[in-house]
């Protein structure tokens, strides 16, 4: 194509003024694959000579037409086949998936007067996909810049057409899925949706959900979920929009994807942290004892505890089924006395906590019950929040529960060396206090970039076999990747020299997103676990020796 820049400018000017661009007589003359690549066309018209079969080339000709139709479908470009003169040709093209044809089979060339007379009859005018979609292009152009991906979808047939797709590969390889449900299913199968959100994504993008939305006359339907973008999972807002121009003759809704706002992402991340951290959450009336179950441990659901409408009934079931370790049972009963809890929280808004062992199956696990004032708390309505959190993973990594004792847990809790607050997006300490903590506790001098201190610590005191792993654990890209995959708690054990002697330490990293800035943040807890680790290693060595 000569003067390509001139042609491109003309094309853009035409589109700005509402004109549609059709590549005519594709496959002959100047209408080649290069033209298809270089011109942002709205419609492709296939040259009529492709239908001129002879006995020697019919099979090859049919294969070529099918390949061109399939190629147009792959790039979401409507195609019209010219030169239709027989019903046999129509049926053949229909079998190939071609939606639009023209030719003498329908009408011969005619005068303007005859043409106007024909189209004046509404029965002779189609409201097909090409007509309506392209006529509303100016409306669509206004919204596509706002979204990551936009598709027009027919909720009755499942037919779809992408108006905008991100440059990222979406994992959906050819041949092009026939319906939008075929597309979303393959999208999920290729790993583009987080495993925790797969079922919800398929449900929200189904034709049933969209048809129900139309029946309810609901203009927008929105859901937040995690999709793959730039190689990691990010929070995305999916919407189904029913335009004001939607009708039986114009049955097209919009499926849109956009990156979720920072507050949405922070809220969803917070809910995920709560879901992963707290196994049971309930709101309790401190006076009457009636409770509202917000989240229930699956183990408790099996016993029907979620049916409980009163705190004492729920708590009594826990006690009567011998789920509390005998060593903590009496203190547990005292702590969970509702009158005691209500009285204590009336005097102070500081949350109350009690750690105990709770039986799950045949093994006792350490849990922590936290009771605090609800946001609705008042003297007249002392609403309390009761939350139960499993903490075995936090304080006893890789140690079997049967070796756990109350004394060892208390010892580990007291072995917290220091806590740091990190802005992982910026790779900086949150405050000067964090910088001072590092220098005081490790003797390592850093600046506000925490990785400077990490590298100094690794170089000077971390044992050689853990140096690379330590740096990899603190790597910004890796932390962001893990957070994108839905991980909010990460841990790492290593040995470093303390006062000239090797000692075991544990890093527990809690990840979350800052609501105000959208930055990925981390709270780093560092524990001295040398004593517990060596006991664990001795136990494992003893077990291994017994087996031998």
Provide the pLDDT for residue 301.
57
Provide the pLDDT for residue 412.
47
- DSSP notation for 403-442: G--HHHHHHHHTTEEEEEEEETTTTEESSHHHHHHHHHHH
Provide the pLDDT for residue 546.
65
Q: Which residues contact 42 (CB under 8 A, 6 or more apart)?
A: 20, 21, 22, 77, 78, 134, 137
Cis peptide before 492 (omega within 30 of 0): no
Q: Which residues contact 438 (CB under 8 A, 6 or more apart)?
A: 418, 420, 429, 444, 446, 450, 453
Q: Does domain 131-260 match CATH 3.30.450?
A: yes
Provide the pLDDT for residue 333.
93
What would the two tokens of residue 336 be?
């969970």
d(CA 465, CA 237): 43
What would the two tokens of residue 327 be?
């060593």
Q: What is the pTM of this model?
A: 0.36
Provide the pLDDT for residue 406.
43
For the 276-390 domain, the top CATH level (class) is alpha beta
Of how many residues is the chain composed?
548
131-260: same fold as 4-125?
A: no
Provide the pLDDT for residue 303.
53
Q: What dihedral angle (degrees, nearest 10) is formed by the CA atoms of 375, 377, 383, 388?
A: 40
What is the fold, at CATH topology level, of the domain defined by 4-125? TIM Barrel (3.20.20)
| Cβ atoms within 10 Å, residue 213 | 19
Q: What dihedral angle (degrees, nearest 10) is formed by the CA atoms of 84, 88, 89, 92?
A: 150
Q: Taking the domains of the chain in order of start, what are their residue ranges?
A: 4-125, 131-260, 276-390, 416-528
> How far is the CA of 300 from the CAs of 34, 327, 467, in angstroms?
65, 21, 43
What is the fold, at CATH topology level, of the domain defined by 416-528? Beta-Lactamase (3.30.450)
Q: Extract the residue ranges of the chain whose pLDDT is less than 70.
A: 1-3, 28-32, 54-56, 74-76, 95, 97, 126-146, 166-174, 261-278, 297-308, 391-414, 515, 546-548
Residue 79, phi then psi, degrees to nearest 5: -125, 140
d(CA 136, CA 432): 56
Task: Kindly give the residue spans of alpha helices, DSSP state H, lying in 348-417.
Answer: 392-395, 406-413
d(CA 283, CA 302): 21
């Amino acid at each position: 194509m000569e003067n390509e820049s001139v042609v491109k400018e003309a094309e853009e000017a035409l589109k700005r003024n509402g004109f549609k661009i059709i590549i005519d007589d594709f496959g002959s003359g100047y209408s080649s694959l290069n033209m298809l690549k270089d011109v942002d066309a709205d419609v492709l018209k296939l040259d009529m000579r492709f239908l001129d079969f002879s006995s020697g080339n019919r099979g090859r000709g049919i294969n070529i037409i099918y390949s061109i139709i399939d190629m147009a479908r792959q790039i979401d470009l409507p195609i019209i086949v010219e030169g239709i003169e027989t019903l046999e040709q129509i049926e053949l093209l229909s079998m190939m998936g071609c939606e639009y044809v023209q030719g003498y089979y329908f009408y011969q060339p005619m005068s303007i007067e005859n043409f106007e007379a024909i189209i004046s009859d509404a029965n002779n005018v189609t409201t097909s996909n090409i007509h309506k979609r392209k006529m509303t292009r100016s409306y669509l152009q206004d919204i596509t810049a706002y979204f990551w991906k936009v598709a027009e979808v027919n909720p009755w047939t499942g037919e779809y057409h992408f108006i905008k797709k991100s440059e990222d590969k979406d994992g959906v390889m050819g041949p092009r899925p026939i319906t939008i449900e075929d597309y979303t299913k393959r999208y999920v199968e290729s790993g583009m949706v987080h495993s925790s959100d797969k079922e919800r994504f398929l449900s929200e993008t189904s034709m049933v959900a969209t048809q129900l939305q139309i029946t309810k006359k609901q203009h927008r339907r929105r859901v937040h979920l995690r999709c793959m973008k730039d190689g990691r999972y990010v929070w995305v807002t999916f919407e189904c929009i029913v335009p004001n121009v939607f009708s039986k003759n114009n049955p097209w809704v919009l499926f849109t994807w956009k990156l979720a706002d920072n507050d949405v992402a922070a809220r969803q991340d917070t809910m995920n942290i709560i879901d992963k951290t707290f196994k049971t959450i309930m709101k309790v009336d401190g006076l009457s004892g009636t409770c509202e179950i917000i989240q229930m441990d699956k183990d408790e659901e099996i016993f029907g505890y979620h049916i409980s409408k009163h705190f004492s009934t729920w708590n009594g079931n826990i006690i009567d089924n011998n789920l509390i370790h005998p060593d903590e049972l009496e203190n547990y009963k005292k702590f969970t006395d509702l009158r005691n809890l209500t009285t204590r929280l009336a005097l102070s808004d500081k949350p109350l906590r009690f750690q105990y062992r709770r039986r799950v199956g045949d093994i006792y696990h350490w849990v922590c019950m936290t009771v605090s004032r609800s946001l609705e708390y008042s003297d007249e309505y002392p609403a309390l929040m009761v939350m139960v959190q499993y903490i075995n993973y936090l304080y006893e990594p890789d140690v079997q529960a049967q070796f756990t004792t109350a004394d060892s847990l208390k010892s580990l809790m007291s072995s917290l060396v220091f806590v740091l607050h990190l802005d992982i997006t910026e790779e900086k300490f949150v405050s000067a206090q964090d910088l001072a903590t590092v220098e005081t506790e490790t003797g390592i001098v850093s600046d506000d970039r925490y990785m400077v201190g990490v590298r100094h610590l690794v170089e000077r005191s971390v044992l050689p076999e853990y140096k690379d792993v330590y740096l990899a654990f603190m790597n910004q890209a890796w932390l962001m990747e893990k957070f994108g995959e839905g991980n909010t708690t990460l841990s790492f054990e290593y040995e470093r020299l303390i006062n000239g002697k090797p000692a075991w330490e544990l890093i527990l990293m809690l990840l979350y997103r800052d609501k105000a800035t959208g930055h990925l943040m981390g709270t780093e807890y560092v524990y001295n676990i040398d004593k517990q680790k060596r006991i664990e290693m001795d136990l494992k060595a003893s077990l291994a020796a017994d087996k031998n």
